[in-house]
Amino acid sequence: MHNDRSITEARLKRVLDERIRPALYPESVPLTVGVWNAPGEPVPVEEGIAAARTPIEVGAPWGPPWGTSWFTVTGTVPAEWAGRTVEAVLDLGFDENMPGFQCEGLIYRPDGTPVKGLNPRNQWVRIGAPAEGGEKVELHIEAASNPVLLDYHPFLPTELGDKETAGSEPQYKLARMDLAVFDEAVWELVQDLEVLGELMAELSTDSPRRWEILRAVERALDAVDLQDVGGTAARAREELTEVLSAPAHASAHRISAIGHAHIDSAWLWPLRETVRKVARTTSNMTALLEDEPEFVYAMSQAQQFAWIKEHRPEVYAKVKKAVAEGRFVPVGGMWVESDTNMPGSEALARQFVHGKRFFMDEFGIEPQEVWLPDTFGYSASLPQIVKQAGAKWFLTQKISWSQTNKFPHHTFWWEGLDGTRVFTHFPPMDTYNAQLSGKEVAHAVANFQEKGGATRSIAPTGWGDGGGGTTREMLARAKRLKDLEGSAKVVFEKPSEFFEKAHAEYQHAPVWVGELYLELHRATLTSQAKTKQGNRRSEHLLREAELWASTAAVRAGFAYPYERFDRLWKAVLLLQFHDILPGTSIAWVHREAAERYAAIGAELTEIIEAAQTALAGDAAAGTSVVFNAAPHARAGIAAGAAAVAAGSGRPVSAEAREDGSFVLENGLLRVVVDGRGLVVSAYDLVAERETIAPGEAANLLQLHPDFPNMWDAWDVDHFYRNTVTDLTDVESVELVDGGSVRVVRAFGESRVEQLLTLPAGERRLDIDTEVDWHETEKFLKTAFPLDVHADRTAAETQFGHLYRATHTNTSWDAAKFEACAHRFVHLEEPGWGVAVVNDSTYGYDVTRAVRESDTGTTTTVRLSLLRAPRFPDPRTDQGVHRFRYALVPGASIGDAVREGYRVNLPERRVPGDAQVAPLVSVADDAVVVTAVKLADDGSGDVVVRLYESRGGRARTKLAAGFALASASYCDLLERPTADAEAAGGEIALSLRPFEIVTLRLVKE
């Protein structure tokens, strides 16, 4: 037989594109259109529907950036269409390649009932099949003219990312507003040919199956009359029946499809627009569920359900009904799909507490899986948090984006830093926006790493990022791929059903230990410094507020603000969404985040002050009470306690030398700051050891060019290190305040002022840095070259720390050239170490070099301070920033933990004369209390969460500072799991390395 394969395949493409698809709507009539442009922010539905309309024609421009236009379309179904299926085809000016990233709409009936969403891949609304014709049609469209920011040439700076700078130029032209006859036979033929054509393209040319499909397609195309596609579509479909009914092989891979629309809670749109995106998408999905009995849809993020409940109750009613039917599935169990690198211990725990509690309260459902398809790396603490939150499975897809190393598994056990394991799956389709195309399905099969051990994978199916969800075309593909020779078997089912089957068949899956590091998007640890500082400050203010409110409630009858804490926690958790906290959203989002953090901070400070006032005693006594919210004692004040302020310690000596340098000494540490404002010596007087590497200087600010290959706010590429400018020029270096060194320097368009302080009685150098930053596409770091030989560093993460290599032996080590740390980075030789602690940074890097002079090792720790990408926010980080960090020579890992908390939880002084004993206390400093609060159920029980912080075993006792009736161990949601023995008001504890323990204490 002659090989005419390429000719037939080219014929298929042209006939589909130019003849069959255009025949979907063989007849149409225009609708009459009127428009009302809302003058400001979105208005309530009833107001939008009632507003007076102005006529508008197809082809007319509409929609300023971030505007809302209410269209009304009216018309009459022609009498001659009686009995035929009619749809309204509504094209707002869509580019079909940008679903979720441009204009969108939500369609309503005249009574305000939502019908479905409108987007570039979903431009239709079914009118029905009127028996007689003449039916009147009236629909209202709430259309959002969201501008396109990520265009075909991506990452171009734009002012469209904030309503304040976007201007008023119309963004779109109305394209089509018609009533049309929908030819179902043609539509089905399109689906047949698309599925077979895509499958055929993935099969080997040596495969008989490919040629069988080719000949069937050829016969079908012969059967189509190109001048009467509708009249011959059924005949063409008959030619495809045999190849479409051939069953899949018994060994075919099984794909569990699940309807999905990953909706970023903010990204290239503001939070308020996400509220509407969720309403549009869920309207679409509930409508599709009514039409398609085999369809199952999953949605994560309790916050998004809460938004619909609050802002679109009519949509939420449909969602609740579909959830009750078991076909609209809440998944994930988190408040939002948060970043997991940067949120603190309690915050990551509370993501599950508030998320799960919402799903249980609203639907009576407790999700068992964690659903984080798009987050930028996954903390090693997550498995234990997941398990203690009552979940058992984990899903992500993002690790497939790694630039350097291909992750070796798709289904595996993930072991966290404490040894907890969670069953984990990565969809081998390598997308969370699957369309179930032939290419995607074939890729899933070929890519699946578990062949021979497992047979299943999952495919989140639907348009996402900006929403949209699953389409009828995707469901049509799934029906044809359910049992089709040459393809994997595709079936829609709940994620829980997939995980149960996958777990059952692959219980002895391989194990991955430690963090799931994404070898991409490393700059998300630094971009938008004010957002990160707002998060860190809010987390610690929440800790303080809960601690002192609980103490005051038990000791002084203070009214514990349950509802305020619930609201404030949810506000902070929302801003930890994986495009907000990482600094990758538009300017509008980060401007609003700053405003929200300011309001959160003010309200929490008010709660703290009220609680402390209730505890402090006589404000007129002429003394001050010092409150210590840190989990370790300091200045003689126990953790979680307060005492009347004592006198200051002995003064620190400060000397100005003739060579322009300065020497600070406090009996524990001697620090030399040279005339450039750099630390050239930090000598540990106790250990008789120098901290700074020979010939090097610390507190060195370094500036790099920063123009990654793509993903500006997300990425920093390794080549940024090739060029560096050391900022050594100074305007002034001087002694101030009797014991600190003040350094002022300017560079580029920016200015920095630093205060270097050696506290009395502390082996620590505090550095307070204020930067007035006006650079573009630059990366600012601060360097500490240390005389320490260490092949690994310890970086704090939630409920512990993890180790990363300082060397680049393997490509896996080398890829971690920028990583995450919370309050400290620590490195050590046996018996002596150094910590660098901070109050608001997350990104850091460590490099090592061997000195020629003495063959010693210089290990340089650098904190990442500021960046200046221009997309998606062209003025990222411009303005004044303040950072506090410290160098701690001679630090053990326990010292690093203590000093990290100290710099983030400064003492508070309140007028008064009281001594406030801790509400709870722990005898061992290795055991850190992360939360003291009253139980969320309003019972008045005291809840304490703590963990082992040093990576070793700990035996200790927790003492209650109140009469204790009973105690129990709990999960993160404060549900008792076992009784705890309490004797004499104390509970004996035995903790494994990094183990988290939650206790519920019942007062007498």
Task: Enumerate the active-site residues.
Answer: 374
Structure tokens at 35: 């428009």
Q: How many CB atoms lie within 10 A of CB 675?
A: 14
Query: By the 8 A CB rule, do 813 and 792 touch?
Result: no
Taking the alpha carbons of 507, 508, 510, 514 in that order, is the dihedral positive or negative? Answer: positive
H or E element at residue 414: strand 411-415
List strand residue ranges (DSSP E) for 493-569, in order: 511-513
Query: By the 8 A CB rule, do 678 and 699 touch?
Result: yes
Pairwise CA distance, residues 112 & 135, whole Å = 19
Pairwise CA distance, residues 262 & 462, whole Å = 8
CA dihedral 968, 974, 977, 979 (to 10 degrees): 10
The residue among 746, 821, 775 whose CA lies nearest residue 526 is: 821
The residues with which 725 forms a beta bridge, in sequence order, are: 703
DSSP 689-701: EE-BPTT--BSEE
The DSSP code for 20 is: I
DSSP 443-510: HHHHH-TTTTT--EEEEEESB-BB--B--HHHHHHHHHHTT-TTS-EEEE--HHHHHHHHHHH-TT--
Pairwise CA distance, residues 298 & 290, whole Å = 15
Pairwise CA distance, residues 818 & 807, whole Å = 13
At 965, phi and psi to the nearest 5? -85, -45
Query: By the 8 A CB rule, do 652 and 758 touch?
Result: yes
Pairwise CA distance, residues 122 & 142, whole Å = 15
Residue in the structure block whose two tokens are 């599950």? 352
Pairwise CA distance, residues 466 & 449, whole Å = 30
Pairwise CA distance, residues 407 & 425, whole Å = 12
The residue among 383, 414, 425 whose CA lies nearest residue 511 is: 414
DSSP β-ladder status, 843-850 and 819-820: antiparallel
CA count, 13 A, side-chain hemisphere, 493: 17
Pairwise CA distance, residues 477 & 952, whole Å = 53
CA distances to 894, 944, 982, 993 from 926, in Å = 7, 16, 21, 10
The DSSP code for 648 is: P
Residue 468 identity: G
Query: By the 8 A CB rule, do 908 and 629 touch?
Result: yes
Residue 860 identity: T
At 402, phi and psi to the nearest 5? -55, 135
First to last CA, the chain: 91
Pairwise CA distance, residues 242 & 503, whole Å = 36
CA distances to 59, 249, 400, 430, 487 from 442, in Å = 41, 14, 16, 11, 7
Pairwise CA distance, residues 657 & 500, whole Å = 72
User: Rg of the Cα trace of the chain?
Assistant: 31
Q: How many CB atoms lie within 10 A of CB 488?
A: 23
Structure tokens at 255: 């794909």
Q: How many CB atoms lie within 10 A of CB 421?
A: 19
